[in-house]
Amino acid sequence: MKIAQVGEVVLRTPAKSVSQTDIETAAFQEFVDALLRTMQEANGVGIAAPQVFDERAVMIIASRPSPRYPNAPDMEPLVLINPKVIQSSEDTVKDWEGCLSVPGLRGFIRRATWVEIEYLQRDGTPATQRLDGFVARIFLHEFDHLIGKTWLDHIELNTDIMAESVWRKEIAGIDEPKSEIKNDDNR
């Protein structure tokens, strides 16, 4: 699946609720499988349907260590359909976020430290859950995609934006491999 990039209209369009009838179709279940594969192939820890040009209110959160998030906790992928925030902490914390739809950049974003949510599970049954820390951050990031926002809408200062390559070196402490590119003009 192609991932929408910042500036594309779909990322600014609120998602539409998914009906129980739609959830029960093989086509919907195949879409969820493809959405999960797309997220995993891109080394993401979450993805929302609008990021693949689909207008439905579906998202997946799946924290796991990866080259993009080396210190992420490990969890099984969680499919959330028509998610809603019931309550969130008044306490907030700023941390760095990236986005598959905003490649090459990281943002230092303020988010609630926990969130209580309700949603439909992949089989259509209702569920509620409290998410904490990094997993709450992933949820809130993906939820933004369902309401037509990206992390760019939460920037407080211009200095809260950093190139991914600088973030990897300066913040995450990950050394980039040496480039094999030859520079013949010695610039």
Q: Which residues are annotated as a binding site for Fe cation?
A: 99, 141, 145
Q: DSSP letters of 116-127?
A: EEEEE-TTS-EE
156-161 contact pairs (CB < 8 A, 24+): 156/110, 160/94, 160/107, 160/108, 160/109, 161/105, 161/106, 161/107, 161/108
Report the distance separating Cα 155 and Cα 165, nearest Å.
19
Report the distance separating Cα 39 and Cα 60, nearest Å.
8
- Helices (H), strands (E): how many in the chain? 4, 8
Phi, psi of 28 (to 5 degrees): -65, -45
Contact 98, 135 (CB under 8 A): no
Give catalytic residues, as residue numbers: 142
